[in-house]
Amino acid sequence: MPLVIAIDGPAASGKGTLARKLADHYGLPHLDTGLLYRAVAFALVEAGIDLGDHAAATRAAETLDSASLSDPRLRDRAMGEAASRVSSVPEVRAALLAWQRRFASDPSGAVLDGRDIGTVVCPAADVKLFITASALERARRRHRELAGRGEAATLEGILADIEARDARDSSRSAAPLKMADDAVQLDTTELDAAAAFAQARAIIERARLAVG
């Protein structure tokens, strides 16, 4: 029986790490949907096109090549900010929606993480998790991540970016970041990756028992 797990939450909440661990545990394909938007933004930046060019962003989304998702440059801090801008374009979201739903239709199921998985992409997902953490803790995590990659950034600057991104993602008209009514919230502020994984597994197993 297919198992579709939808994981949403703000930047640096730990949802990506958790999604990968859950996908490995259950033997399911995993899609970090944020990479789709980063790839669209990256295509514009590489072509020297302004991120505010909605028509160009839409064309990039419509012609997105899945092979481009493996480019390590998509993980750069600048691409996260750029992705947040292009993801607010309704036409871009519409172009990528079918892509995401095809991925989720794998016969075995799938794990998808993003910001509108439980509300828009997979509203009928078997399990919906909303992963959150305090803005300061998320900034600390992102700071450690960037430092580990040799990228220079201040904690204060990252915190400001995260707060601005939260506001932008939550207030956009197209598929804003919000928790689905039937999602379970998991606050990871005080949890390490192993503890978050254990709690998420418990939530998933309870949901499976409830329908099985």
Q: Which residues are annotated as a binding site for ATP?
A: 9-17
- Of 125, 83, 122, the C-alpha closest to 99 is 122
Of 7, 4, 63, residue with least CA distance to 196? 7
DSSP E strand stretches across the chain: 3-8, 30-32, 109-114, 127-132, 184-187
Helix (H, G, I), strand (E, B) or coil at 104: helix
Backbone dihedral region for residue 48 (phi beyond 0: left; psi -120 to 50: alpha; all else: beta): left
- Known binding residues are 9-17
